Amino acid sequence: MCGTENRKELPLTSSGAGCSCCSTDAPEGSVTSTGGAEYAVEGLTCGHCVATVRKAVAALDGVEAASVDLVAGGLSRLVISGSAAETAIRDAVTSAGYSLVATR
CB neighbours of 29 closer than 8 A, spacing ≥ 6? Answer: 47, 50, 51, 54, 67, 68, 69, 70
Q: Does the pLDDT value for residue 95 go beyond 80? A: yes
Length of the chain: 104
- What pLDDT, in 10s, does the model give residues 37-82? 999 999 999 999 999 999 999 999 999 999 999 998 889 999 999 9
* CA separation, residue 47 to residues 65, 85, 86, 94 (Å): 18, 25, 24, 18
User: Which amino acid makes up residue 27?
Assistant: P
Domain ranges of the chain: 37-103
Mean pLDDT of the chain: 77
What pLDDT does 35 receive?
53
The CATH code of the domain at 37-103 is: 3.30.70.100
The whole-model pTM stands at 0.66
Partnered with residue 78 across adjacent β-strands are: 39, 68
Percent of the chain with pLDDT over 70: 65
What's the CA gap between 71 and 52, in Å, rounded? Answer: 15
Other Cβ atoms closer than 10 A to 16: 6
Cβ neighbours around 12 below 10 Å, total: 12
Say what the pLDDT of residue 25 is. Answer: 38
